[in-house]
A and B are shown apart, each in its own frame.
Chain A
Amino acid sequence: MNLTNSLQNIPNQVPEAAREATLHLFIGIGAVLLFASLVGWLLRWRLGRENSVVANLVARINAWWVMVAVIGIALLGGHTGIVVLFGLVSFFALREFITLTHTRRGDHYALLACFFVFLPLQYVFVWHNWYGMFSILIPVYAFLLMPFLACLGHDTTNFLARATQTQWGLMICVYAISHVPALLALQIAGYEERNLLLVVFLILVVQSSDVLQYVWGKLFGKKKIAPNVSPSKTVAGFVGGIASATGLGAALFWITPFTPLQAAGMALAITLMGFAGGLVMSAIKRDRGVKDWGHMIEGHGGMLDRLDSVCFSAPVFFHLVRYFFTV
């Protein structure tokens, strides 16, 4: 049977060189999550089910189990699995983003093009490793064609604002996020077949930085960095979170092509960009009068609430690696 054969082949989608490290990483993440779940249960047992902070914490941890499982399954699908996963992630993120913008009837064709032309095309180019095309599709072609499509709606009310919002949505939700799977295409000497681990490195550092900023902020946070933009960002959270996530990144150097010092530098760049992303996306939410981007992920809010920092760090990480490490 073809199907059973291809099912048996699935583990082979993860190249031999990356298999052992991936397995070790997932065992490690599983242990951390198990510990977090135990703490969550303990807190719930001590403080009661009615405590909303603990309920939210438990919901967040449960969602983490699901997200880790989804990423794990995508990794089993290798290159294609990761491209498909992030294509879907872009779709959900763009859906949340456009929902909160003020588009009008006249934008209908432009929006259809966003979802059904530019998004799939971008990921096809990423999947084909066609760097020249995926790096300009949205900044050049979409940028020029989308306002033209909006003209076909014969509506000039707030035209520039509408065109800007749509382009911004595409840049953040599709262009920026597509730089995560684009990491797979980088040719790094001595690191052949291990690029999947670069994706894992980026996601681990960004997400643990978010979690660590939250933990440090909850424990020691007093002074707020930008109370009007994001009430949850504190100086202690920022310093402690960035420092500990940079340390974690350095400790993960063995899965990357970097030395420990280089890994720390990369992690620092990733976490700083991630912090900037969280702040910018927060500003948009405040302006729109909402607390979360959506309701997709229990305890976290929407897809974009989980990904705001990835949006900003992925393209910068991609270009840093591409400039300094590719052949």
Chain B
Amino acid sequence: MKWLDRFAGRCLIGLARILTGAYANWLGCKPEAQQRLYFANHSSHLDFLLLWAMLPPSIRYQTRPVAGADYWGASKLRRYLIHRVFRGVLVERARPSAGHNPLAPLQAALDAGDSLIFFPEGTRSLDGEMQAFKGGLYHLARDNPEVEFVPVRMENLNRVMPKGNLLPVPLVCILSFGTPVTLAAEETKPAFLARAREAVLAMMPKH
């Protein structure tokens, strides 16, 4: 029932748009059919849905959100949404064993030619302040030089749906898409992660 999944997706996108009046600001790149990894600050469950909604339909279905397996695997509805509607890539946040590579499913999706939506902070913060980026972004950038790493800043989402609240307050959200960040030769892991984080922070929305 592919059309039903697509229809459910459209309904959720419509709902998210009505509630947030979301607005995309393509500052450093255009919405193109180029293989990309969008990385953004993380503040609410609505985050990837809105980012997904801002992409034109032609590239939206080639772009898969990366989400926590613990949350999205917890109920039948969530499993349906993440697998069938969003075509998400699930990652284990708690490492089950020493040899386990949590990035393996992401690498598999990139190898298959899909784009990804990725939140390098890992979890949502309480106050809306951005936390330090985890190492995964660096490893992905090192292993996939042909993929564009696009920084995205999402404004106001922490106010729409603060952590711990289920009902969203309808506020206007602005999503700014910046210039792709590429890993320089010899660049160290902390330097790259700091630079990528700075690229998200630096984008103030254009009013």
Q: Tell me whether B207 and A290 are in contact (CB under 8 A).
A: yes
State the A residues within 8 Å of B (CB): 91-92, 95-96, 98-99, 103, 105, 108, 111-112, 115-116, 289-292, 294-296
Closest residue on chain B to residue A113 by CB atoms: B169
Q: Tell me whether B23 and A295 are in contact (CB under 8 A).
A: yes
Binds A, one of B7-15, B159-167, B179-187, B195-203: B159-167
Please encode chain B, from 137 to 180, with 1 for each CB lying within 8 Å of some chain A CB and 0 for all others.
00000000000000000001001001001010111100000000
Is the C-beta of B21 less than 8 angstroms from some C-beta in chain A?
Answer: yes
Q: Tell me whether B162 and A99 are in contact (CB under 8 A).
A: no
Please report whether the interface of chain A is mostly helix, strand, loop or mixed according to DSSP. helix
Residues of A within 8 A of B172 (CB): 95-96, 99, 294
Q: Tell me whether A112 and B21 are in contact (CB under 8 A).
A: no
Q: Tell me whether B171 and A98 are in contact (CB under 8 A).
A: yes
Bound-complex Cα distance A291 to B167 (A):
30
Q: Tell me whether B170 and A291 are in contact (CB under 8 A).
A: no
Q: Tell me whether A99 and B171 are in contact (CB under 8 A).
A: yes
| A98 and B169 contact, Cβ closer than 8 Å, known pairs A108-B162, A294-B21, A295-B23 | yes
Residues of A within 8 A of B127 (CB): 105
Residues of B within 8 A of A289 (CB): 207
Bound-complex Cα distance A98 to B160 (A):
11
| A105 and B207 contact, Cβ closer than 8 Å, known pairs A91-B170, A92-B21, A294-B21 | no
Residues of A within 8 A of B165 (CB): 108
Q: Tell me whether A95 and B170 are in contact (CB under 8 A).
A: yes
Q: Tell me whether A111 and B23 are in contact (CB under 8 A).
A: no
11 A-B pairs within 8 Å (CB atoms) are namely A95-B170, A96-B21, A98-B171, A99-B171, A111-B169, A116-B167, A289-B207, A290-B207, A291-B207, A292-B207, A294-B21
